[in-house]
């Protein structure tokens, strides 16, 4: 027996159910300190002209900030949002509410942390660098798959790396899981973000860090993904189940790690700005060597839903860009160690990665 097991935080409060978004007002009431301390709602811009906006429980001098999810969240974007909030309000907000996909959820987490921790977001990319609890933050996913609603990380693109702010204070204080919020998600995006969850399961279940805790969540999430992407569910069932798959997939990697697909996808995203969901898919199709069964099933899912991935993404890369892509991927040490074991360095060659990237 060993000691020193990680003591992970979990989301302390969660609501699940169709229409549960309308409970947000009641949930926030006890959180509001006074009329001067607003709640800031960070909402994906796709909802700007949506009926959802009228349902946001705005009171006193609360503020809605619409944010585009066209690009993945950046450290200086977090700094700018924090500066804006500090400038406009004399008091620290009562809370931050993120409404959207992984992009908005991670932004909300990071803004909540940077309102109480000095300096710039880039200083905190890494593990356990955050010193003080952030302000109250709630997350409301509108697309399912990333697991960002449960995780203790806020993934950000910084000047020198794409890395999460991993800390015990990152985890949301409250999550609202309302599957109806995912109704308008375009089909391709539904598939890409859903596959993020599927790939989390495959990487966790086939990793060397696997344990009964991770396995129990990972197997459940994998079963749910199979039902959603290969079964015959009604749209309502499908939305309910994918939302819970995302949750379980996120829980599964909490106590293990992701693997080869995420390492390569981070490289792709860092150099070319390819978004996480589609980046994972682009990479994963070429990983038969590492995840034979997982990739076979993935191809079946693609076929069933008529998904066609773009080709030639890395065609025009210069040698130095390719080198950066490879080195960013190889710098994700815990991911490789989970995938290939402690002697992973002997088992993965930069040329193998170059070859995979060239095929994408």
Q: Which residues of this chain interact with Zn ion, rule CB under 5 A?
A: 196
222: its two tokens: 């994998």
Please say whether the beta carbons of 45 and 68 come within 8 A. yes
Please say whether the beta carbons of 163 and 114 come within 8 A. no
225: its two tokens: 């993904």
The reply to whether 238 sits near ligand NAD by the rule CB under 6 A is no
Neighbours of 236 (CB within 10 A): 12
Q: Cβ 143 to ligand NAD, closest distance in Å? A: 4
The b-or-e profile of 282-312 (16+ CB within 10 A means b, else e) is bbbbbbeebbeebbebbeebbeeeebeeeee
Q: Cβ 243 to ligand NAD, closest distance in Å? A: 12
Closer CB to ligand NAD, 96 or 148, in the complex = 148
Closer CB to Zn ion, 117 or 206, in the complex = 206
Neighbours of 59 (CB within 10 A): 12
List the one residue from 196, 203, 240, 337 that touches ligand NAD (CB under 6 A): 196
List the one residue from 62, 106, 240, 337 that touches ligand NAD (CB under 6 A): 106
Angle at CA 274, nearest 5°, toward 296 and 149? 80
Among the listed ranges 183-191, 210-218, 236-244, 345-353, the one in contact with ligand NAD (CB under 6 A) is: 183-191
123: Cβ contacts below 8 Å, ≥ 6 apart: 129
Dihedral (C-alpha) 323, 325, 331, 337: value to the nearest 10 degrees? Answer: -110
Phi and psi at 55, nearest 5°, equal: -90, -5
The reply to whether 147 sits near ligand NAD by the rule CB under 6 A is yes
The reply to whether 146 sits near ligand NAD by the rule CB under 6 A is yes
List the one residue from 148, 221, 283, 353 that touches ligand NAD (CB under 6 A): 148
Site mask for ligand NAD (CB under 6 A), range 126-145, x = bound: ----------------xx-x
List the one residue from 101, 249, 267, 294 that touches ligand NAD (CB under 6 A): 101
CA-CA-CA-CA torsion sign (296, 297, 299, 304):
positive
Neighbours of 245 (CB within 10 A): 28
Site mask for ligand NAD (CB under 6 A), range 265-304, x = bound: ----------xxx---------------------------
List the one residue from 20, 24, 44, 229 that touches ligand NAD (CB under 6 A): 44
What are the DSSP calls for 252-296, one per residue? Answer: HHHTS---HHHHHHHHHHHHH---HHHHHHHHHTT-TTT-HHHHH
List the one residue from 69, 140, 281, 317 that touches ligand NAD (CB under 6 A): 69
List the one residue from 75, 94, 125, 153 that touches ligand NAD (CB under 6 A): 153
The reply to whether 353 sits near ligand NAD by the rule CB under 6 A is no
Closer CB to ligand NAD, 220 or 239, in the complex = 239
Closer CB to ligand NAD, 37 or 274, in the complex = 274
The reply to whether 356 sits near ligand NAD by the rule CB under 6 A is no
The reply to whether 325 sits near ligand NAD by the rule CB under 6 A is no
The reply to whether 171 sits near ligand NAD by the rule CB under 6 A is no
The reply to whether 207 sits near ligand NAD by the rule CB under 6 A is no
Closer CB to ligand NAD, 11 or 37, in the complex = 11
Environment class of residue 219 by beta-carbon count within 10 Å: exposed (0-12), middle (13-18) or buried (19+)? Answer: middle
The reply to whether 19 sits near ligand NAD by the rule CB under 6 A is no
The reply to whether 173 sits near ligand NAD by the rule CB under 6 A is no
Environment class of residue 87 by beta-carbon count within 10 Å: exposed (0-12), middle (13-18) or buried (19+)? Answer: exposed
Point out which residues bind ligand NAD (CB under 6 A): 44, 46, 69, 72-73, 100-104, 106, 142-143, 145-148, 151, 153-155, 181-182, 184-185, 189, 193, 196, 275-277
């Amino acid at each position: 027996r060993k000691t020193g097991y990680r003591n992970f935080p979990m989301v302390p409060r969660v609501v699940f159910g169709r229409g549960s978004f309308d409970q947000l007002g009641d949930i926030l009431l006890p959180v509001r300190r006074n009329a001067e301390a607003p709640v800031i709602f960070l909402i994906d811009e796709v909802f700007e002209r949506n009926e959802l906006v009228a349902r946001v429980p705005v009171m006193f001098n609360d503020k809605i900030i619409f944010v585009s999810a066209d690009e993945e969240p950046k450290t200086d974007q977090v700094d700018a949002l924090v500066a804006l909030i500090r400038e406009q309000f004399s008091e620290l907000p009562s809370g931050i509410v993120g409404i959207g996909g992984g992009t908005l959820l991670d932004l909300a987490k990071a803004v909540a942390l940077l309102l109480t921790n000095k300096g710039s977001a880039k200083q905190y990319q890494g593990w356990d660098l955050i010193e003080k609890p952030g302000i109250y933050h709630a997350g409301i996913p509108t697309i399912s798959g990333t697991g960002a609603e449960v995780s203790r990380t806020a993934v950000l693109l910084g000047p020198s790396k794409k890395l999460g702010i991993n800390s015990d204070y990152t985890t949301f204080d409250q999550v609202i899981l309302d599957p109806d919020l995912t109704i308008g998600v375009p089909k391709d995006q539904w598939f890409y973000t859903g596959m993020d969850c599927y790939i989390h399961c495959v990487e966790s279940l086939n990793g060397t860090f696997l344990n009964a805790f991770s396995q129990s969540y990972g197997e459940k999430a994998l079963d749910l993904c199979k039902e959603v992407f290969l079964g015959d569910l009604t749209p309502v069932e499908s939305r309910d189940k994918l939302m819970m798959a995302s949750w379980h997939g996120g829980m599964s990697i909490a106590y293990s790690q992701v693997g080869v697909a995420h390492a390569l996808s981070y490289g792709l995203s860092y150099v070319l700005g390819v978004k996480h969901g589609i980046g994972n898919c682009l990479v994963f199709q070429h990983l038969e060597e590492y995840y034979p069964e997982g990739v076979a099933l993935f191809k079946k899912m693609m076929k069933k839903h008529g998904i066609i991935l773009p080709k030639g993404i890395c065609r025009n890369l210069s040698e130095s860009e390719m080198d950066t892509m490879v080195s960013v991927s190889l710098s994700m040490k815990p991911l490789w160690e989970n995938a290939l074991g402690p002697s992973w360095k002997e088992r993965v060659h930069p040329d193998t990665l170059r070859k995979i990237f060239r095929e994408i």
